[in-house]
Amino acid sequence: MNLLTALFGTSIGKKVVMALTGIILIGFVFGHLVGNLQIFGPPEKINHYAHFLQSLGAGLWVVRAVLLGSVILHIWAAVVLTVENWKARPANYNANTTIQASYASRTMRWSGVIVCAFILYHLAHFTVRVTDPEFNQWTTQLHDGTVVRDVYRMIVVGFASPIVSGFYIISIALLSLHLSHGISSLFQSLGLRTEGWGGFLDKLAVILSWGYFLGNAAIPLYCMFVLKDSL
């Protein structure tokens, strides 16, 4: 069996595909969080950072292509594994058999679907900027005189609405729940989970996902309650 058949043609292979694409997506979401936390600094900081990302040009498109490919493969493997799982269930399957599974693991499918819907909204909001077209007009100057997009103002104004911020916070909570199970199960899928450090991995996953949630949720809250009046 060649590598492609092993990865895409077997259940274990598809779990490995989910784990590997999951690692790429986890890397992105944590990196994105670290970048976004610059909203707590002076406006120039996050504006300079956003300008730097835009100036990557073709490099940015390579990153986007890798992310999109990872999302597609991750969802494809999840759907195929789910269908295989349903088909393999005995006719007298009893819902109680899932009682042992954690809440996070039982919610992987619908938390994944809602997070996908959130990402589409988020892209329309801050990347394509079709929900608030005025964001496209806002520019500012860095200290060296370079005129850049005013991403700081866009984020602060974007989160001034409690409905928008509330939707972000709920989606981020679901993404964090998804991450907490995803992080611990990816080690299992890659065959790296042993009896000895299984418990440690579960705790690490919970700590990382809580950290992720609190860091992200702080951004809309800070914009809504502190920065909104500073503009």
Positions touching ligand HEM (CB under 6 A) are: 29, 32, 36, 50, 64, 115, 119, 122-123, 126-127, 151, 155, 168, 172, 175, 216, 219-220
* Cβ distance to ligand HEM smaller for residue 189 or 216: 216
Q: How far is the CB of 202 from ligand HEM (least distance, A)?
A: 22
CB of 83 to ligand HEM, least distance (A): 25
Least separation in angstroms between residue 67's CB and ligand HEM is 6
Cβ closest to ligand HEM, residue 171 vs residue 189: 171
Bridge partners for 6 per DSSP: none
Integer Cα distance of 27 and 65 in angstroms: 15
The residue (of 45 and 122) whose beta carbon lies closer to ligand HEM is 122
For ligand HEM, the closer CB: 173 or 190: 173
Tell the smallest beta-carbon distance from residue 9 to ligand HEM (Å).
Answer: 29
Question: Closer CB to ligand HEM, residue 42 or residue 198?
Answer: 42
Return the H-helix or E-strand segment holding 213: helix 195-222
**CB of 159 vs ligand HEM, minimal distance in Å:** 7
The rounded distance, in Å, linking the Cα atoms of 183 and 209 is 9
Task: Please enumerate, as own/partner, the contacts of 147-153 that have beta carbons within 8 Å and a separation of 24 or more.
Answer: 148/47, 148/48, 148/50, 148/51, 149/47, 149/50, 149/51, 149/54, 150/43, 150/47, 151/46, 151/47, 151/50, 152/39, 152/43, 152/46, 152/47, 153/43, 153/231
